[in-house]
């Protein structure tokens, strides 16, 4: 790859983007002298218009994005976002509304929020929804705050939250922030919650179980109903991390499994942009017993229209300014209404199909620590490549040479050298095959020419960095 020079290196004295003809009207002196207008910038690059256009176009082409290829990031559901959602969110009545506008002027906007809440209630099988949380982690925190508020009113907030070793990494932080001690539940040989271990530790000190289903191995918790029954029988509540709803929606509902509260990621499951294309949204859905504690304001619907309800004596209060990331909600509702019930179900089915296809094609070339069938994602390891001196970081860097984005690495922690792959439902068989062929080729290279991998990437704009030094001594 040819190194793109800096804009300052393209500069040449006297170059201009455009040139205007001589003025044919008298020049007026003194119009700008009283204003703080900069007359000159020392060292400012002098380039032509075509040089500017080509420079920034070439730089943009050096970036990987979802419009170029798949992001097989396990646990993150980085899928393509329909462009029609962006058009809808850009409508003046949506994009241009002020967050402090009077209720009478935003009836349509409140209808969107209310309709999305109803849709999420249907999808999750729960009784009430708040769209306020700004992202998944905040939704997770709000879910635990609701559980604590409920238990405190009962007179016993309890002390401990149980978290499986296959759970998402933010779960312990949310529990700690809410004042709980965290106790880990071990996975069994199938990679799911060990019921015997749960039965042993589930006592009167336990406030809640935080469970991810499917878990971060991509494995569905087959005993989820027995798990929730056990926790409820001893006075605890069940929080479900809903980041993996991509595999479930339209097929089964957490509320029917006995889950008390779940957070959802609109910027994962419901197609709104993720990461730098955000912002995110992490609404919470709850059973009726937790509904009185939801954040204020709550959107209400009356004969006269929609409104905000602040009169909630048991509420945990506000969790952000105004009412959530509204345009994200608009995109999510557009996605749900476009697909309809059958389409929502098909999303989950194809997500599972795509992941299973990748797993079956790579089995034998990459190690699977757990043989249990997986759903929307699968977790391999570098165990078969390590005898050749190749680790998961080398596999990931080599994928860049194949113009393929690497999967999530080294997570979950219960799989050493993990390669966590989630293709999502938006990828075609052709794109899946392209990823698979790259992974198979790299497996051969690890056996035949491991140094090639250890020095990768070879053709990227930026070569392999000293990541330890970058983390400990960043130059910003």
**What pLDDT score does 2 carry?**
65
Query: Which pLDDT tens digit goes with each residue over 380-437?
Result: 999 999 999 999 999 999 999 999 999 999 999 899 999 999 999 999 999 999 999 9
C-alpha R_g of the chain:
26
Query: Looking at the DSSP assignment, which residues form a beta bridge with residue 305?
Result: 302
Cα 164 from chain centre: 20
**What pLDDT score does 423 carry?**
96
- Of 347, 316, 276, 299, residue with least CA distance to 143: 316
Pairing, β 418-421 against β 408-409: antiparallel
- Of 375, 169, 150, residue with least CA distance to 261: 150
Strand order in the sheet with 378-381: 378-381, 418-421, 408-409
- Of 192, 137, 186, 190, residue with least CA distance to 162: 186
Query: Which pLDDT tens digit goes with each residue over 192-225?
Result: 999 999 999 999 999 999 999 999 999 999 999 9
Phi, psi of 210 (to 5 degrees): -105, 115
Are 83-339 and 340-462 equal in CATH topology? Answer: no
Q: Cis peptide leading into 297, omega within 30 of 0?
A: yes
**Rounded Cα distance, 299 and 254, in Å:** 23
Q: What is the total residue count of the chain? A: 476
Cβ within 8 Å of residue 159, ≥6 positions away: 180, 181, 205, 206, 207
Cβ within 8 Å of residue 365, ≥6 positions away: 384, 439, 440, 443
Q: Is 471 exposed, middle or buried (0-12, 13-18, 19+ CB in 10 A)?
A: exposed
Q: Which residues of the chain have pLDDT under 70?
A: 1-2, 275-278
**What pLDDT score does 208 carry?**
98
Q: Which helix (H) or strand (E) holds 446?
A: helix 429-448
**What pLDDT score does 267 carry?**
87
Residue whose structure tokens are 């998944």: 136
**What pLDDT score does 459 carry?**
85
The angle subtended at Cα 443 by Cα 425 and Cα 77, nearest 5°, is 20
**Rounded Cα distance, 110 and 94, in Å:** 11
CATH number of 340-462: 3.90.1150.10
The angle subtended at Cα 234 by Cα 233 and Cα 238, nearest 5°, is 80
Phi, psi of 159 (to 5 degrees): -125, -25
**Rounded Cα distance, 208 and 201, in Å:** 12
**What pLDDT score does 389 carry?**
97
CATH number of 83-339: 3.40.640.10
**Rounded Cα distance, 446 and 285, in Å:** 46
**What pLDDT score does 75 carry?**
87
Phi, psi of 284 (to 5 degrees): -115, 140
Q: Where are the domains of the chain?
A: 83-339, 340-462
Residue whose structure tokens are 């880990």: 184
Q: What is the pTM of this model?
A: 0.90
**Rounded Cα distance, 235 and 22, in Å:** 84
- Of 214, 168, 191, residue with least CA distance to 375: 214
């Amino acid at each position: 790859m040819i190194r793109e020079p800096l804009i300052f290196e393209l500069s040449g004295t006297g170059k201009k983007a455009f040139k205007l003809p001589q003025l044919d009207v008298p020049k007026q002196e003194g119009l700008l002298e009283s204003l703080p207008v900069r007359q000159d910038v020392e060292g400012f690059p002098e380039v032509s218009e075509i040089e500017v256009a080509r420079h920034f176009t070439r730089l943009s082409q050096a970036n990987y994005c979802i419009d170029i290829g798949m992001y097989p990031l396990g646990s993150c559901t980085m899928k393509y976002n329909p462009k029609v959602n962006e058009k809808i969110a850009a409508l003046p009545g949506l994009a241009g509304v002020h967050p402090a506008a009077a209720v009478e002027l935003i009836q349509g906007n409140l209808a969107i929020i209310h309709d999305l809440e109803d849709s999420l209630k249907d999808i999750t099988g729960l009784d009430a929804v708040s769209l306020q949380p700004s992202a998944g982690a905040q939704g997770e925190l709000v879910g635990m705050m609701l559980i604590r508020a409920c238990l405190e009113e009962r007179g016993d907030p309890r002390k401990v939250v149980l978290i499986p070793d296959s759970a998402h990494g933010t779960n312990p932080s949310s529990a700690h922030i809410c004042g709980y001690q965290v106790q880990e539940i071990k996975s069994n040989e199938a990679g799911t919650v060990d019921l015997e271990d749960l039965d042993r530790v589930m006592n009167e000190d336990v406030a809640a179980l935080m469970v991810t289903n499917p878990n971060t191995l991509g494995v569905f918790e087959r005993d989820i109903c027995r798990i929730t029954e056990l926790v409820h029988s001893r006075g605890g509540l069940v929080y479900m991390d809903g980041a993996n709803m991509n595999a479930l929606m339209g097929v089964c509902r957490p509320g029917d499994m006995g889950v008390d509260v779940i957070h959802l990621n609109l910027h994962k499951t419901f197609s709104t942009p993720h990461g730098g294309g955000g912002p995110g949204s992490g609404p919470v859905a709850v059973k009726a017993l937790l509904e009185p504690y939801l954040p204020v304001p709550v959107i209400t619907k009356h004969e006269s229209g929609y409104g905000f309800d602040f009169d909630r004596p048991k509420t945990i209060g506000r969790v952000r300014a105004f009412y959530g990331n509204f345009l994200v909600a608009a995109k999510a509702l557009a996605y749900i209404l476009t697909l309809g019930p059958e389409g929502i179900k098909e999303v989950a089915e194809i997500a599972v199909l795509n992941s299973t296809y990748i797993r079956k094609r790579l089995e034998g070339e990459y190690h699977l620590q757990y043989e249990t069938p997986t759903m929307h994602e699968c977790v391999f390891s570098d165990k078969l490549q390590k005898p050749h001196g190749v680790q998961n970081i080398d596999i990931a860097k080599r994928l860049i040479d194949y113009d393929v984005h690497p999967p999530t690495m080294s997570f979950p922690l219960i799989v050493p050298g993990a390669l966590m792959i989630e293709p999502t439902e938006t990828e075609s068989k052709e794109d899946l095959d392209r990823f698979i062929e790259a992974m198979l080729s790299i497996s051969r290279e690890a056996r035949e020419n491991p140094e090639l991998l250890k020095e990768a990437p070879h053709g990227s704009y930026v070569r392999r960095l000293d990541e330890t030094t970058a983390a400990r001594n960043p130059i910003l």
